[in-house]
A and B are shown apart, each in its own frame.
Chain A
């Protein structure tokens, strides 16, 4: 459930939403602009106007021009047409926006797009296509591991990350590995089955 962006990224820019909140407090966060926040001495100050960012997404670099305050999730969804990751709670509570950040699952709603520059971002779209499903995706289909499907992209990405780390997870490891994701239709047992099935498939 490593869902929060790593804090120790070497070329991390001024703030993530999380450090921003830590720095200035919740009250100011409601109205503040990112550019005004005093950051660490070596930090670059960006914006407040839109700036070009080169994002490496699913193996291809795309340049997007967004305000520095735009989150990775919104950059993906609103500016790059990658709408697989969903904004459900907008505060890291549900995992609906999970993407891989250098292979680690993170909540894209908690990271600024600017902080993703120089890193490999993989979204659910990059894991497989309807014609060529990844083993995890195929297992979700076969086990009917969703109903409305809104949480599914997040679960697929989180499950993929889990299996990359634990190729043969126990049920308890699966529960722990997916505990940052929520499904309201109530399909968890099917999701666990799918992860076990995918683990076998990946061998």
Chain B
């Protein structure tokens, strides 16, 4: 991949205990990446977030907190039925209500899910907007619908899309509500999908395991609902919005309203969670942002439109449910000979809810793999990305099946993984994780713990990819008084990018992260990417490092004459600049800055091209210990140990926090969460946060996050993403622990008490499973 003008560096990368030397070729102007030998002061430290004081005192302003003079409140009206024709929308009563300033109605003629956009009102108060929304009178002609995955696959099921209108890639066959098998996926498939000959593989196998696994639709349930505050000044549109991509929103609004991009400003200074649901200008199942901008233009006033929790659960996306059949074959010694993965996924009216990538790429040395992925359409809100889209589901099927096959072979599940896994980082994870959880404590005979509370230990692993965005830039300004500001447009989802950029700049400038003011989440700042796919730190960080490095060189140029040394002979640390060979000769960063000719040194840097990396895929392993009460069916997670490598963890304090978050979200999916649709009326039964239960403090377990050492190269910080791979194996790890505890296999999530008791009763009836 080397190009003209590239540099050549040799760097030490890979697992610290077994590193390799890699030759990399960064573009001209880029820096030698940090590697295993780099001595870093700020990076890999534990730094509290720069915005923390604002967040803990209620001062941080989220989109939801924005109030502007003269601001109107908007409220949307949503379809209460899952399928039908829109006969008439009468807004007359709503418009007559005192305080109502504008209304909007949809052009759509058909309803395909309960929760679809129908109309909106803007009024002088939140309460009047809600009253007015209730006064919008809509007449529907209901048509047959289908909400259940298995029923939607039957030939007589009502069609979600009319014949010929079913969305699917052009080369995917369609039949009824089913589209597929889908063509190989761009992500995952390209890294090892269907290959070899599975029939040959199964013929070679000494043991074959086949089972069907099922999990339900999960919603993102972000705490800050989707929303926007929009206002126009002439043809200049400014919006505050809770988004994972301010530049993506700007591009979409500019296009929708026929504006050039310099007429649109998008701000998201703080945002209350996304998890993939805020990767759209509005949301995957709503056009609320466009509607709010229209209402604002119509009224000439700022308009605030925040979805409520009910709406949030219906139209802002979800993780698809899946019905997966996994068939695995292995030889007596544990060598995998074939993987056959077939999945029907339930993405509502949305498409490409793929789950096959883990089966296609996790066991790269398995020669025979076949993936079959099908979309099944139902009359429900559309699916969208949710934290490693499709991977936690696919890994649940694959990694439970691996566990089952290991036991069938009479092998330790961990040894079975070791046998088939070539990923160099995972070798370490297995050792570290097994030691930390106490793998040797697991039951040799399942369910052998005496008494009704059975304990067990399980593990699973997961994968993701090194993804990145290159069209990114950052600006560092050093003021004459020595203070430093960093500007970068990407938004902070709560992952701590603001602080990560400060840490990187502090490393270059020899300062503390807290010395640097970082401004993010605004299209007026240098471009940042959309935050999705675990890409922000390893996309934005390298640009911040380059900008800070340029500032360092400029400051070194000012300091050099004072220290009677060459600029390249100077080191920066602890707010000081000193001669590397003679640290006594030093001045403060501030003194050097005061020598600048003007008032500010401003350094803008583009991220350079991605270059060679140790690995292009990411791996994570999770171990879980659970306790199952076989009398009540209640499962408690007692402990989770996660092991991951993210190249360079820029800020360990926040990286560990994300790992813990993945464990909690995983336990929440495994034990509690499921969207429930009423199959008789087609609406969501639990569009809230009490019946759509997410894990709370009382359910909490001991969470242990571990990051292993080892740089990855690829960019000048050597960082990779991490939030997604650590989530992927959580579901299977917990399900495998439940099996180890009880000897009963639960192949359906969530493992609610009713399902646990039913599985236990079934096992009793049919003898041990």
Contacts and interface: CB of A to CB of B under 8 A. Distances in A.
Interface of A: 30-31, 67, 69-70, 74, 77-78, 81-91, 93-94, 96, 123-125, 127-131, 133, 137, 140-142, 144, 146-153, 156, 174-176, 178-179, 181-192
B52 A148 contact: no
B21 interface: no
A93 B700 contact: no
B657 A93 contact: no
A150 B273 contact: yes
Contact of A88 (B55, B61, B223, B695): B223
Given A144-B657, A186-B660, A88 B48 contact: no
B57 A189 contact: no
B438 interface: no
A124 B224 contact: no
A40 to B, nearest CB: 25
A78 B67 contact: yes
B58 A82 contact: yes
Contacts of A84: 57-59
Contacts of A182: 223, 689, 694, 696
Contacts of B49: 141, 144
Contact of B700 (A129, A149, A152, A192): A192
A158 to B, nearest CB: 9
A149 B57 CA distance: 10
B278 to A, nearest CB: 11
4 A-B pairs with the lowest CB-CB distances in the bound complex, closest first: A84-B58, A148-B494, A186-B664, A150-B272
25 contacts: A78-B125, A83-B65, A84-B59, A87-B64, A88-B224, A88-B225, A88-B689, A91-B309, A91-B688, A91-B690, A94-B223, A123-B58, A128-B56, A130-B59, A144-B49, A147-B493, A149-B56, A150-B224, A152-B55, A184-B273, A184-B694, A187-B657, A188-B695, A188-B697, A192-B697
B221 interface: yes
A96 B223 contact: yes
Nearest to A124: B58
A184 B134 contact: no
Contacts of A140: 52, 56
A186 B663 contact: yes
A137 to B, nearest CB: 4
Contacts of A189: 660, 700, 702-703
A94 B695 CA distance: 11
Given A86-B64, A150-B272, A130 B57 contact: yes
B272 A149 contact: yes
A67 B272 CA distance: 29
Contacts of B308: 90
B654 A133 contact: no
Nearest to B64: A86
Interface string B630-660: 0000000000000000000000011001101
Contacts of A123: 58
Interface in B34-59: 48-49, 51-59
Nearest to B66: A83
A185 B273 contact: yes
A42 to B, nearest CB: 27
A24 B223 CA distance: 30
B45 to A, nearest CB: 12
B223 A86 contact: yes
Contacts of A94: 223, 689
B271 interface: yes
Nearest to A67: B127
B57 A129 contact: yes
